[in-house]
Chains A and B, each alone.
Chain A
């Protein structure tokens, strides 16, 4: 590696940093004022890009190439800002008083709907944008040719940073944003039109993200995976920079992008005689940067610690032990599920569906364990599902391990991943926890996607068939049922053991728990690791059930499926996630396989749940109970 190739990559890194910064800054501004983490923020970026690649060529014949290009960017930005305003007025306004989890889910539903809308309007193919007129050449610098457009982008980031800074410091609108970020009630008490302010802020944040996407048109093709990948990166940037700090977002974006660029620049490096391709380590590098910052500064570079709340605002209901009737119902259900292979002779499809339900039940129950008693709503639980599945698949196909050993190795892989990532995640609360879990899941997804030699890349791994006696449908099904029942039983024991009470204690009041001598972070860590391990068991079963595994199993969508299962069933009971998983699997099987637009449909289901029960399903039921 030479100095000029390093410089080349450094400029390239700054150009990427600008795009990242724009998304993260928008996310940060919106969060500061409305306290909502907008999961659909990556979608605004994606829409900006799609609109720009469509508008620029369409405008060019009318107003000329250059004007068309820049006009396309401008119109795309404004259109996305307008959409942001519309979204705020129609959707978010109903959510400001809802629990955090519901705000996250509703904006994620929006992501799903936008994603399918883009698929409907633009089709599944990648779309290449035009080159920037006047900036398509290259600049000679130290004997290396740097693309002009990259230089332009590298400067665009600081320019927007300066613009936002001036907006926030010098204008009345900016002062209002800063005031509302510090004390929302006070701003409302002063008679400022809060509704208008929130709409304007959301439009601003969305517009900035749209601009970020539109500016990328000359650099990368518009494609449907951008929304989630940008969202994951933006979460990393926001967590590293500190939520609510715009300069922090820029610094973090530069840091993350430059570390990635450095890895690319280093290329193949000899370490102790082994040729090591550093460019494959970009994702690990991103993770390491985040890990390092979080160890040194848990609230990000420029973030301020949130004062710990003495008690949660709402008292969570306690999980109830099974009554006699409940025990009978559970026994009947277990007997029915155990009898499914007998029906299989008449309805060949029944065991397949039942197997899906059994696996989903363990997946949802493990998520519920940290979400309910732990109060930690993970937006990346699928990472451990995927690690379990890939671990088992790798052991079974590449290592030729016997089925039970491969299964155990899948669980082990998930346990290691959950233990590692959990250490970081449990230190954060609420939306920060949600963002970090999602970012980790996105990192696992990217590693699996890119590490083709081991994981098979985007195709995944095939021929993951179990050996006798699990090669018979009934054998595998009964084994899966036994594993899931054992997992559910374990969760039940733990929830009603002192550890379960300590976990709830940390959720109800971490201050009181610490004062009583409960090491809250360690309790959460163990719970997180345990949940990840059980989720890994579900993943390993999944790999054997399907005979193949692809990155789809780790996708954020899969994580959200888990959240929806838990919410459908109700967070307050241990049976809830099992029922929710069953219901969701049936719904998915019957309805969603019939359409190409199942994501939009799922989004609609989530929105319906969230808007009909704004204080949670449990709250809705309690209200119904009180009305009686």
Chain B
């Protein structure tokens, strides 16, 4: 892969449900080290678009390329193996394990060690797991059962698990959903710092505009399945079309 070439290329994605085009000819790129926000009003096709990229849905037409390789229609597991980490809108972790064991399990999977039936897992990858937990601010919680963590910590744990596969691309579905104000800003600042430090490409959907306009490098806006804007934060904020269909003409909307 050339330096500067996009990590993720999305070309002409189209997906219809019945007669409705949920996603209609959407194209965009995400470059390494870039934090790209995908926004749009409810029903704009964000989730459909997002789920096509992560492999949960198959598009009717169009292509998704990762580092130049076509990944359209591959199952989520294969896409993960190619270097795509992801987090869910409602954070999902393995409740019966400690935080460290969650990350260790993700590490083992990333290294192809899932089918190791014999070696004790207790110490395998433990150092690296602790390191990842430290990076996401979870060092103190490493040996607590995941089911007893506060929700904000579950989200951080999930991020550490997503990083375990050393992804080139991170897909985050509403990374700050369900978090309070301060927590939310800390979370997105953490993602931003990791993006810079690791040269990650990050694509995220988000409802809270303070997160989007405060931290994204670029914003793409969907409305009724079509891409109506793609540019820098200020450019998109000023775009009259975006203001009309998305912000309803109001200056800025910051939802709690």
From A274-282, A289-297, A497-505, give the one contacting chain B: A497-505
Complex partner residue of A508 from B80, B95, B119, CB under 8 angstroms: B95
CB distance from A546 to the nearest CB of B (A): 32
How many residues of A are in contact with the other chain, CB < 8 A?
Answer: 34
Q: Flag if A498 contacts B119 (CB, 8 Å).
A: yes
Q: Flag if B96 contacts A504 (CB, 8 Å).
A: yes
Beta-carbon contacts under 8 Å, A5-62 to B: none
Q: Flag if A498 contacts B116 (CB, 8 Å).
A: yes
A179 within 8 A of B: no
CB distance from B18 to the nearest CB of A (A): 15
B124 within 8 A of A: yes
Complex partner residue of A497 from B92, B97, B116, CB under 8 angstroms: B116
Q: Which residues of chain B are near A318, meaning CB under 8 Å?
A: 96-97, 145
Q: Which residues of chain A are near B39, meaning CB under 8 Å?
A: none
Q: Flag if B96 contacts A512 (CB, 8 Å).
A: no
CB distance from A372 to the nearest CB of B (A): 10
Q: Flag if B120 contacts A516 (CB, 8 Å).
A: no
A511 within 8 A of B: yes
Q: Flag if A501 contacts B88 (CB, 8 Å).
A: no
Chain A residue, CB-CB nearest to B122: A496
Q: Flag if B113 contacts A498 (CB, 8 Å).
A: yes
Cα separation A497 to B120 with both chains bound (whole Å): 5
From A100-108, A236-244, A518-526, A592-600, give the one contacting chain B: A518-526
Q: Flag if A496 contacts B92 (CB, 8 Å).
A: no
Q: Which residues of chain A are near B116, meaning CB under 8 Å?
A: 497-499
Contact of A517 with B110 at beta-carbon distance under 8 Å, contacts A310-B90, A498-B124, A508-B96 already known: yes
Cα separation A517 to B119 with both chains bound (whole Å): 20
Q: Which residues of chain A are near B113, meaning CB under 8 Å?
A: 498
A628 within 8 A of B: no
Chain A residue, CB-CB nearest to B86: A515
Cα separation A98 to B76 with both chains bound (whole Å): 33
Beta-carbon contacts under 8 Å, A504-555 to B: 504-505, 507-509, 511-520, 523, 526
Q: Which residues of chain B are near A493, meaning CB under 8 Å?
A: 117-118, 120
Contact of A514 with B77 at beta-carbon distance under 8 Å, contacts A498-B105, A504-B94 already known: yes
Q: Which residues of chain A are near B114, meaning CB under 8 Å?
A: 498-499, 502, 517-519, 523
Contact of A509 with B92 at beta-carbon distance under 8 Å, contacts A516-B110, A517-B81, A519-B114 already known: yes
A590 within 8 A of B: no
Complex partner residue of A496 from B88, B96, B115, B120, CB under 8 angstroms: B120
Contact of A315 with B158 at beta-carbon distance under 8 Å, contacts A496-B122, A515-B86 already known: no
CB distance from B142 to the nearest CB of A (A): 15
Q: Which residues of chain A are near B115, meaning CB under 8 Å?
A: 498-499, 523, 526
Q: What 0/1 pattern do residues 109 to 141 of B give for CB contact below 8 A with A?
A: 110011111111110100000000000000000
Q: What 0/1 pattern do residues 74 to 89 of B give for CB contact below 8 A with A?
A: 0111001100011010
A182 within 8 A of B: no
CB distance from A56 to the nearest CB of B (A): 52
Q: Flag if A502 contacts B117 (CB, 8 Å).
A: no
CB distance from A358 to the nearest CB of B (A): 24
Of A312, A494, A509, which is in contact with the most chain B CB atoms at under 10 Å from its CB?
A509
Q: Flag if A311 contacts B96 (CB, 8 Å).
A: no
Contact of A315 with B117 at beta-carbon distance under 8 Å, contacts A505-B94, A514-B76 already known: no
Cα separation A305 to B232 with both chains bound (whole Å): 40
Cα separation A317 to B145 with both chains bound (whole Å): 9
Contact of A514 with B124 at beta-carbon distance under 8 Å, contacts A318-B96, A498-B105 already known: no
Q: Flag if B92 contacts A310 (CB, 8 Å).
A: yes
Of B95, B122, B161, which is in contact with the most chain A CB atoms at under 10 Å from its CB?
B95
CB distance from B113 to the nearest CB of A (A): 5
Q: Which residues of chain B are near A496, meaning CB under 8 Å?
A: 120-122
B242 within 8 A of A: no
A194 within 8 A of B: no
Q: What 0/1 pattern do residues 475 to 498 of A give for CB contact below 8 A with B?
A: 000000000000000000110111
Q: Flag if B94 contacts A508 (CB, 8 Å).
A: yes
B165 within 8 A of A: yes
Q: Which residues of chain A are near B95, meaning CB under 8 Å?
A: 311-312, 315-316, 508-509
Q: Flag if B105 contacts A516 (CB, 8 Å).
A: yes
Q: Flag if B88 contacts A518 (CB, 8 Å).
A: no
B177 within 8 A of A: no
B48 within 8 A of A: no
Cα separation A519 to B114 with both chains bound (whole Å): 9
Contact of A494 with B86 at beta-carbon distance under 8 Å, contacts A501-B108, A516-B161, A517-B77 already known: no
Cα separation A501 to B124 with both chains bound (whole Å): 12
B104 within 8 A of A: yes
CB distance from B42 to the nearest CB of A (A): 19
Q: Flag if B117 contacts A499 (CB, 8 Å).
A: yes
Q: Which residues of chain B are near A497, meaning CB under 8 Å?
A: 116-121
Complex partner residue of B101 from A501, A516, A523, A526, CB under 8 angstroms: A501
Q: Which residues of chain B are near A494, meaning CB under 8 Å?
A: 117-118
Q: Flag if B92 contacts A511 (CB, 8 Å).
A: yes
B106 within 8 A of A: yes
B10 within 8 A of A: no
Q: Which residues of chain B are near A515, meaning CB under 8 Å?
A: 54, 76-77, 80, 85-86, 88, 92, 162
Cα separation A526 to B162 with both chains bound (whole Å): 25
Q: Which residues of chain B are near A316, meaning CB under 8 Å?
A: 95-96
Beta-carbon contacts under 8 Å, A408-430 to B: none
Q: Which residues of chain A are near B80, meaning CB under 8 Å?
A: 514-517
Contact of A519 with B117 at beta-carbon distance under 8 Å, contacts A310-B88, A496-B122, A511-B92 already known: no
CB distance from A347 to the nearest CB of B (A): 40
B223 within 8 A of A: no
Contact of A516 with B93 at beta-carbon distance under 8 Å, contacts A310-B88, A496-B120, A497-B117 already known: no
Beta-carbon contacts under 8 Å, B5-38 to A: none
Q: Which residues of chain B are near A500, meaning CB under 8 Å?
A: 121
Q: Flag if A509 contacts B77 (CB, 8 Å).
A: no
Beta-carbon contacts under 8 Å, B42-93 to A: 54, 75-77, 80-81, 85-86, 88, 90, 92-93
Cα separation A502 to B79 with both chains bound (whole Å): 18
Q: Flag if A317 contacts B88 (CB, 8 Å).
A: no
Q: Which residues of chain B are near A517, meaning CB under 8 Å?
A: 77, 80-81, 106, 109-110, 114, 165
Cα separation A317 to B148 with both chains bound (whole Å): 11
Q: What 0/1 pattern do residues 215 to 242 of B give for CB contact below 8 A with A?
A: 0000000000000000000000000000
B212 within 8 A of A: no
B202 within 8 A of A: no
Of B77, B85, B114, B119, which is in contact with the most chain A CB atoms at under 10 Å from its CB?
B114
Q: Flag if A498 contacts B81 (CB, 8 Å).
A: no
Q: Which residues of chain A are near B161, meaning CB under 8 Å?
A: 512, 516
20 more CB-based (< 8 A) A-B contacts, given A498-B116, A501-B94, A519-B114: A311-B95, A315-B145, A316-B95, A316-B96, A493-B120, A496-B120, A497-B120, A498-B124, A501-B101, A501-B105, A504-B96, A508-B95, A509-B94, A512-B161, A513-B109, A514-B80, A515-B85, A517-B77, A517-B106, A517-B109
Q: What are the 5 tightest A-B residue pairs by CB atom distance, in nearest-first order? A: A315-B147, A315-B95, A512-B92, A517-B80, A508-B94
**Residues of chain A whose beta carbon lies under 8 Å from any beta carbon of chain B:** 310-312, 315-318, 321, 493-494, 496-502, 504-505, 507-509, 511-520, 523, 526
**Residues of chain B whose beta carbon lies under 8 Å from any beta carbon of chain A:** 54, 75-77, 80-81, 85-86, 88, 90, 92-97, 101, 104-106, 108-110, 113-122, 124, 145-147, 158, 161-162, 164-165
Pick 26 A–B contacts, CB within 8 A, sort by A.
A315-B95, A318-B145, A496-B122, A497-B117, A497-B120, A498-B105, A498-B108, A498-B113, A499-B114, A501-B97, A501-B121, A502-B108, A502-B114, A505-B97, A505-B109, A508-B94, A509-B94, A511-B92, A513-B109, A515-B76, A516-B165, A517-B80, A517-B114, A518-B77, A518-B114, A519-B114
